[in-house]
Chain A
Amino acid sequence: MTRAIWTLFKKDLLLEVRQQYSFYGILLYAVSTLFVLYLSMDTPEPRVWNGLFWIIQLFICTNAVAKGFMQESRGRWLYYYTLAHPITIVLAKLLFNVLLMAAMSVISLVLFRLFLGAPYQQAMGFLGIVLLGGISLSLVFTFLAAIAAKAQQNAAILAILGFPLILPQLILLQQIADTQFRVDSGMDWVTVALLMALDVLVVVLATILFPFIWKE
């Protein structure tokens, strides 16, 4: 099973390396959104910075994760059906999107640092939160992308399904990110643990529920 997940993961990675337009597309999306922000305002206050950062993360995630399932054609689904167990497929997709989103999170953090300043006090702590946030967002959106792809809808439905659902996690992320903006306060480990527990919950749910949606 680990082998199957690894093979499927490598397939996604290989596709990404060969058709680089998607990765660079998201990168371009992030850079241009940030540049628009940069031109439309001065260096924002920490609270505004925090809000903007997480909203942009949300949009990047929607774009980055959406194509994971939607690029698979109906014929290819039938082909997978003969080859692999649904759980391996969904775990491979989750793994791939987590790595993709982690990379995008780091890139957008660097871009934010360059264009809009650095209101956070502990850079490493904030980087950790950003990675955790990227992972949380990508897990939820990966599964919703599977639902959206099976509903044979475009990426718009992904935003409709995902935005309300991700809000609680986004609020928690902003809360712990906020602690890193103050000099004296340490990391809010309870909330971090809560977010990690939610992530585990999403993975478990995805493995339970995905077999039901992938059958035609």
Chain B
Amino acid sequence: MPAVPRYMYRSWWKITGIVLLTYTFTAGLLGPVPKLPLLQETIRNLYFHVCMWFGMMILFTVSVVQAILYLNRMDRKHDLASRHFAGVGMLFGLLGYATGAIWAAYTWADPNVSFADSFSTIARDPKLIGAAISLLVYFAYLVLRDSIPDIDRRARISAVYNIFAYVILFPAIWILPRVLESLHPGQDGNPALDVKNDISSDMRLVFYPAVIGWTLLGVWIATLRIRMESIKEKQLAS
């Protein structure tokens, strides 16, 4: 039966997350933004859409670190953490798609045809391909997990797949946008990390706290699910 790590009971980081997200929503919707052609006020979606992808990457990374820890120590709590951090990462990925679809509908889509018609053109974008691939890989991870009935074997094999997929996938995803053509910002470098050119200084003041806030929220959701699962197992065992 997996024990729950102590940091999950602490409240300081949850409060930090709430404060940062409150700040994100107020300053993000009211604060100054550069008026750019085409983008206009939709640029505020940066605080939500881009943060989802950052959060997804961070949560998947936590998941793979937990998988490595599981293979090292064979402790079930790492397996549980690996599973649920991946799950919340996927949730963030889907939300990233949803926010991206809204943004694309106002900026990329051809206003003269329906969104469904411009979808196949938009979906060919390398960043969208990369995101779709990583979500598919993690869906496959869940399918693989659920297909193995034995608990220990499931933990071990899905940890191996998790590590293998992560190490193969993420270099490839960072390479793809540099090889294919893209409409997406952040084409030639690391999007949003190039502090000089990508984001104005006003927006950076909201963007970085927003990334931390959203990620903390994701960690919170994951820890709640981990705690629920360990209670369930405790009940089964007694």
Contacts and interface: CB of A to CB of B under 8 A. Distances in A.
Interface of A: 140, 143-144, 147, 150-153, 157, 160-161, 163-165, 167-169, 171-172, 175, 191, 194, 198, 201-202, 205, 209, 212-213, 216
A184 to B, nearest CB: 19
Interface in B160-193: 160-161, 163-165, 167-169, 171-173, 175-176, 179-180
Nearest to A190: B179
Interface size class of B (residues with CB under 8 A): 20 to 34
B167 A205 contact: yes
A161 B144 contact: yes
B144 A175 contact: no
Residue among B144, B148, B156, B159 with max Cβ neighbours from chain A (10 Å): B144
B167 A201 contact: yes
Contacts of B167: 201, 205
A127 B130 CA distance: 28
Interface majority SS (helix, strand, loop, mixed), chain A: helix
B18 interface: no
A168 B167 CA distance: 13
Interface string B129-147: 1100100110110011001
A199 B115 CA distance: 39
B175 A194 contact: yes
Contacts of B143: 157, 160
Given A161-B161, A191-B179, A213 B156 contact: yes
Contact of A198 (B140, B163, B171): B171
A172 B172 CA distance: 9
A87 B163 CA distance: 17
5 contacts: A157-B143, A167-B129, A172-B175, A191-B179, A198-B171
Nearest to B141: A161
Nearest to B176: A168
A212 B160 contact: yes
Given A157-B147, A171-B179, 11 more contacts: A140-B168, A144-B164, A151-B153, A164-B136, A164-B137, A164-B139, A168-B130, A168-B169, A169-B172, A175-B180, A191-B179
Contacts of B130: 168
A194 B129 CA distance: 19
Residue among B140, B143, B180 with max Cβ neighbours from chain A (10 Å): B140
A171 B164 contact: no
Contacts of B128: none
B155 to A, nearest CB: 11
A165 B156 contact: no
A147 B144 contact: yes
Nearest to A204: B167
A161 B163 CA distance: 13
A33 B160 CA distance: 33
B62 interface: no
Nearest to B130: A168
Nearest to A152: B148
A20 to B, nearest CB: 32
A216 B136 CA distance: 28
Contact of A153 (B71, B137, B147): B147
Nearest to A160: B140
Given A151-B147, A152-B148, A213-B157, A164 B140 contact: yes
Given A147-B160, A171-B176, A209-B163, A157 B144 contact: yes
Contacts of A153: 147
A161 B179 contact: no
Contacts of A168: 130, 133, 168-169, 172-173, 175-176
Contacts of A151: 144, 147-148, 153, 157
A171 B147 contact: no
A144 to B, nearest CB: 8
A164 B142 CA distance: 13
Contacts of A198: 168, 171-172
A210 B160 CA distance: 8
A172 B167 CA distance: 17
